[in-house]
Amino acid sequence: MIMAKNPIRVSRRMLITWFMLAGFIFLFAPQKLTNKFQFAFARIFRWPLSIGRNVSLSARMEQPLTNVVSRSEYSQLQNHLANVIEQRDQEHKKVEKLSGLRDRFVLEGARFVLADVITASIDGSRGELIINRGQDDGLAEDQFVLGNNSIIGTISDVSSRTAQVRLITDSTSRIAVKIAELNASWVMQGAGNNSAKVQLLSIKHKVKTGDVVCARKKPGFLDAPMIVGRVAECERDDENPSLWDITVEPVCDLKRLSNIAVIIMNLQ
Amino acid sequence: MRWFRFAVFISLVTVLQAGLVDIIAIKNIKPDLLLILLVFFAIYCNTSEAIITSFTIGFAADIIGSAMGPRIISFGLFGTLLAYLRRVIAIRKMPYQSAVIFITSFLAGALVHFLTFLKGQPTPPNICAVLFGISLYSSLMGPFLFLPIAWCMRMRAYRFSRH
């Protein structure tokens, strides 16, 4: 018996209705669920995306000068110096206590997981990276991420083999920081356009342009303060003149990052 | 419509948009290749095909965007409107195509930002300037890409039929 093959015909109205419904389901579905599609895309097209990113990075790379170190190497060394100073200060405080108890050097127990950047979305208020390491490599949410020896963000979402990094400049990023020698904690919020803001800081504290801003230590995630950025602007707040409105710029060129390191502190 | 060819082509353009289009960015403003494709298929395909391609391109744009959903709805809606509009107005000359890309990009972008805001995601502070820049760049570049796209898709770029 020969059966006639009838093609399924769907009216345009039905087509639009179904597609719109799918769109609204995606729109209102939890971000954690829909991120899986983005991770899957990044994983499937990891090689062409990495190649494309490397090509665009090398196209924008400035010509190396002779007898001088490159800007990236210079900032990397500067950041390393700032971190070592912070760690030294912390060790000095411990020595001063003369507790007599055995202790280990900060970050001694930390593991650094190196990862390549698959895609970077840095525009306007958004600052996100997708990296090629995930849960299988020990990554978890809220872990700090290093780029050129400075904190550049935290892990915001993680799948088995990829993870999303929320950069410090992203408008949803909030991390506790300390500024220069001031011994107090403030919240630094991403402001987009390669900057972040520190607000609610009284003008009685002396802050000047160029001061180092460090991420405060966070038990289980960061054992010692590490450099995040430098004060780019320090003005009185328009709404409340008794407070500073501080603009912080990252010490690392976030757009040119090709690889990063994730700090895993709470090793089993 | 050759759907397999379309799927491969969209994947390729999505990868290009995500990874390589930064090279031609001017002050952080990049052309939206997927939106150019949306306008192309809305102009040169029949209405049903244009609806499917619009929503598919929206899905691809969401995958490399900040959140899933806003572009599927926005691209699908404006692609469908454009497909119906094309049945009334011929969009064959390059200046018209350029104007259509500009308007579609601006309106679709505005809806994307609104839906992104609705979803609770951050939106850039200077939306109008960003939208204008992207729309202008895409509209200047778009009509010149129509012929290569038509060649890749084995379509006749100057066909105009009212389905």
Could you give the count of Cα atoms lying within 13 Å of A14 in the half-sphere of its Cβ? 4
> pLDDT-derived band of residue A8, with 50, 70 and 90 as boundaries?
low
pLDDT for A253 equals 84
Q: Does residue A39 lie within any of the structural domains?
A: no
Q: What is the pLDDT of residue A33?
A: 87
CATH number for the domain that contains residue B72? 1.10.1760
Question: CB A41 to CB B28 under 8 A?
Answer: no
Could you tell me if residue B147 is inside a domain? Answer: yes
CATH of residue A145's domain is 2.40.10.340
Please report the ipTM that was assigned to this predicted complex.
0.86
In 3D space, the residue among A139, A183, A144, A176 whose CA is nearest the CA of residue A158 turns out to be A139
3-class secondary structure, B125: coil
Residue B160 domain-assigned (yes or no): no
Contact A155, A142 (CB under 8 A): yes
| Stretch B134-139: mean pLDDT | 93
- Chain centroid, CA B1 distance in Å: 18
Spatial separation of the C-alpha atoms in residues B81 and B54, rounded to whole Å = 10
**Chains A–B, number of C-beta pairs less than 8 Å apart:** 116
In a domain, B23, yes or no: no
Quick check: is A231 in a domain?
yes
Does A153 map to a domain?
yes
Residue B80, classified by CB atoms within 10 Å of its CB into exposed (0-12), middle (13-18) or buried (19+), is buried
Query: How many angstroms from the chain centroid is the CA of residue B125?
Result: 23
Residue pair A261/A115 in contact by the 8 Å Cβ criterion: yes
Tell me if A163 sits within 8 A of A144, measured CB to CB.
Answer: no
What pLDDT is attached to residue B77? 94
Answer yes or no: are the C-beta atoms of A195 and B125 closer than 8 Å.
no
Calculate the CA dihedral of residues A39, A45, A51, A55 and round it to 10 degrees: -70
For residue A60, is it within any domain?
no
The verdict on residue A132 lying in a domain is yes
Asked if the Cβ–Cβ distance from B16 to A52 is below 8 Å, we say yes
Q: Which domain, by its residues, includes A90?
A: 77-97+105-264
CA-nearest of A253, A222, A266 to A87 is: A222
Kindly state whether residue B34 falls inside one of the protein's structural domains: yes
Total structural domains within chain A: 1
Beta carbons of A171 and A189 less than 8 angstroms apart: yes
Residue B125 C-alpha, separation from nearest chain A C-alpha, in angstroms: 7
Facing A23 at nearest CB: one of B19, B51, B73:
B73
Tell me the per-residue pLDDT of A157-200, one tens digit each, with 9 for 90 and over. 898 888 999 999 988 888 999 887 777 788 898 888 788 988 78
Task: Reply yes or no on whether the pLDDT at B121 is more than 60.
Answer: yes
Assigned domain for B159 exists? no
pLDDT at A1: 46
Instruction: Tell me if B51 and A31 make a contact (CB, 8 A cut-off).
Output: no
CA distance A151 to A254: 11
Helix and strand element counts for chain B (H, E): 6, 0
What is the residue range of B72's domain? 3-18+28-153
Mean pLDDT of A198-209: 82
- How many structural domains does chain B have? 1
Report pLDDT digits (tens) over A115-160.
888 888 887 778 888 898 888 888 888 899 988 888 999 999 898 8
Cβ–Cβ < 8 Å for A153, A262: no
Least confident of A18-27, A41-50, B29-38: A41-50
Comparison of pLDDT for A266 and B120, the residue scoring more: B120
CA atoms within 13 A on the CB side of A74: 7
Domain-located, residue A86: yes
Which residues, in sequence order, are bridge partners of residue A112?
A: A263
Q: Is there a domain that residue B161 lies in? A: no
Kindly determine whether residue A29 and residue B80, on different chains, have CB atoms separated by under 8 Å: no
**DSSP string spanning A27-81?**
HHS-HHHHHHHHHHHHHHTHHHHHHHHHHHHHHHPPPPPTTS--HHHHHHHHHHH
From residue A120, give the alpha-carbon distance in Å to each of A85, A259, B19. Answer: 31, 11, 8
> Is residue B163 over pLDDT 50?
no
Residue B80 lies in a domain: yes
Q: Which residues pair with A147 in a beta bridge?
A: A150
Q: What whole-number distance in Å separates Cα of residue A148 and Cα of residue A102?
A: 31
| pLDDT for residue A241 | 81
**What is Dmax (Cα atoms) for chain A?**
95
pLDDT in tens, A71-113: 777 888 888 888 888 878 777 777 766 655 555 556 667 888 8
Q: Which of A25, A49, A125 comes nearest B19 by C-beta?
A: A49
- Each residue of B49-84: pLDDT tens digit? 999 999 999 999 999 888 888 999 999 999 999 999
Query: For A56-79, how does the pLDDT look when each residue is reduced to its tens digit (9 = 90+)?
Result: 777 766 555 556 777 777 888 888
Assess if residue B38 is contained within a domain: yes
Query: Are B68 and A27 inside 8 Å of each other by CB?
Result: yes
Q: Could you tell me if A21 lies within 8 Å of chain B, comparing CB atoms? A: no
Shortest CA distance from A24: residue in chain B: B69
Q: Of B113 and A267, which is predicted with more confidence?
A: B113
Domain annotation covers residue A169: yes
Which residue among B16, B55, B68 places its CB closest to the CB of A19? Answer: B55
Establish how many alpha carbons lie within 13 A of residue A69's alpha carbon, considering only the half-sphere containing its beta carbon: 8
